[in-house]
Copies of this chain bind each other. A is one copy, B any other.
Amino acid sequence: MKMYDLITKKKLGQVLSKDEIEFMVQGYSDNEIPDYQMSAMLMAIYFKGMNEQEATDLTLEMVSSGEVLTIDDDYLVDKHSTGGVADTTSLIVVPILAAAGCKVAKMSGRGLGHTGGTIDKLESFHGFNTEISNEKFLKQLGEIGVAIIGQTKNLAPVDKKIYALRDVTATVNSIPLIASSIMAKKLASGAKTIILDVKCGKGAFMSTLDEARELAYTMFKIGKRANRNMVAIISDMNHPLGMAIGNTLEVIDSIKVLDGKYVPRLSELCETIVVKTLVACKKAKNYNEAKDIYQNILTTKKGLDKFKELIIAQGGDGSYFEDFSKFDKALFESNILADKSGYIANIDALSLGKVAMDLGAGRVKKDDVIDLAAGIILKYHINEKVKKGEILATLYSNRTIDKRLIDKMKESISISKSKNSEELIYEIIK
């Protein structure tokens, strides 16, 4: 078999067989196939795509390039979001699922973008540590049902090699390549049930519903073909999800939801994710039972307790839960006032993400240092009524907040005489 012939096949839009994909992935993993052939192949895949079977074969080959976690528990669940603004669902959903009796063994990253990743956010608790051994990780998972670890190099290592090549050859935005990269890590981490939250809209990687649907279906089907319980939700990212953008600010927002407070949009999506997961992994017989479990966990604050248990188990300071003033605070803050009365017609998620980044909440480059306290708190969400002069939002940063950013923030929120149409969940694939 020759890589040249495989490139030719894909270039002509033909389907690669399992053996051919195995040859390609293993050859690349073993440095027998050079980067220049792989990058030509990736560009051909960008143009010609892959069918479900090819994407599945690619995913499974990447899985078998490294270690596979085998945690023998029917209720082992995992959740993945393609990333959005004010999306702190993981911090809410993970402890609730653990409180419901699921096992959540989460590998999280730091990532680039308008805020840090789950690990960055959790480091808002002084002492919290995800650099734990596999043994401790598994032991903690058995004891409290939840553990969070940084991404290990041993899960699907060839995915990292391929991703690094995509990153420098403009071949990142290919749906089968995105889907297989995400799913390889999810499958390698052993979860029996995987719930995907694919964001769609101006503030997301997938800006149109068609693209989001294609990505969601591709990942869903890869998971199905690999015998996992799958749910994929396509949710809105034209507007920010919750009220907080920024690492510590999102942690505080998630504690509020776990404490039973209702946060527009965020609470609704969390409920949907939890309910669908409980049904998919068979912790609940049906929708109503799952909803009761969710409500009960909120009422009894068992989710909040589980969150605290997780933080303490991994070295974090649990006293923050009782005293939010212990979280780092930003030196500077600046209020954005409504310049007229009306309904909040639009909050531009993409634009807010950029403001948050400029405030210091995210990373542009891998080694940028995040300002955990930086970010934005929205006081009103979409379609809520506001009066001229009221505070619309507050910006937080340890840098001085210049007028340009305030103006940009103002432009991101528009006020109108009438309500706007607003959707949160476009589609659920199950």
Contacts and interface: CB of A to CB of B under 8 A. Distances in A.
A169 B47 contact: no
A9 to B, nearest CB: 9
A36 B43 CA distance: 11
A40 B35 CA distance: 10
A46 B7 CA distance: 12
Interface string A282-295: 00000000000000
A8 interface: yes
B40 A170 contact: yes
Contacts of A47: 43, 47
A37 B169 contact: yes
A424 to B, nearest CB: 31
B36 A165 contact: yes
A42 B43 CA distance: 9
Interface in A129-185: 165, 168-171
Contact of A11 (B35, B40, B43, B168): B43
A4 interface: yes
Interface of A is mostly: helix
Nearest to A171: B40
Contact of A38 (B7, B8, B34, B36): B36
B43 A170 contact: no
Contact of A40 (B4, B8, B43): B43
Nearest to A12: B170
Contacts of A42: 40
Contacts of A35: 34-36
- Interface size class on chain A is 20 to 34
A44 interface: yes
A170 B11 contact: yes
A40 B39 contact: yes
Contacts of A8: 170
A74 B4 CA distance: 44
Nearest to A169: B40
Nearest to A42: B40
A263 B74 CA distance: 81
Contacts of A44: 43, 170
B36 A169 contact: yes
Interface in A21-57: 34-40, 42-44, 46-47
Interface in A303-325: none
Nearest to A7: B170
A170 to B, nearest CB: 4
A170 B39 contact: no
Interface in A254-297: none
A2 to B, nearest CB: 10
Contacts of A36: 34-36, 38-39, 165, 168-169
A46 B40 CA distance: 10
Contacts of A43: 11, 39-40, 43-44, 47
Give the 7 A-B residue pairs with the shortest CB-CB distance, closest first. A43-B43, A40-B169, A35-B36, A7-B170, A36-B39, A39-B40, A8-B170
Interface of A: 4, 7-8, 11, 34-40, 42-44, 46-47, 165, 168-171
Given A11-B170, A39-B40, A40-B170, 6 more contacts: A11-B43, A36-B165, A37-B169, A39-B39, A40-B169, A40-B171
